[in-house]
Amino acid sequence: MTLNGKIAVVTGASKGIGSGIAKALAAAGATVVVNYASSKPDADAVVAHIHAHGGTAFGVRADMSQAADVTRLFDTVRSEYGRLDILVNNAGVAVFQMIEDLTEEAFHKQFNLNVLGYLLAVREAVKLLGQGGSIINISSILSTDPYLASSVYSATKGAVGYPDVCLGP
């Protein structure tokens, strides 16, 4: 697979699965925007790894649950490259609690990032994708096979995990 000349945004790319996705896209030739919310040192390490392996990447801080931050992230892509080819919606948070211990704060923290954040990113990405490109939403097996104390997290991943969700014409 070659992604030479492609521009990719990976949300939540400073660690874990997002870090691996960012590195793989860069290894395939894409220029990668490494999004992070709070861990600049981790994002810098991902960018440094990509550069050390001959790739192109830069980090952009944006809390994906905040519309203004999401808009700023994609405005940065627009000003740097004028287009986008790949969005990987990966940023997420999990709070595992028994339902009797669930707080509104924990509920909103998960839904605001795991669902609203994905939708905000898609809203901005489609403005840059033009006539082609890919949007990949990272979900979880817990969306269809939840376990104890995962009801809210599982619901958020179910909301974004079905491939037949129509994003537009």
Active site residues: 153
Q: What is the DSSP letter of 59?
A: E
Q: Which two tokens stand for residue 108?
A: 């909103």
- Yes or no: say if 5 and 20 are a contact pair by the CB < 8 Å rule: no
Contacts of 157 (CB under 8 A, 6+ apart): 92, 114, 139, 140, 142, 143
Q: What is the DSSP letter of 99?
A: G
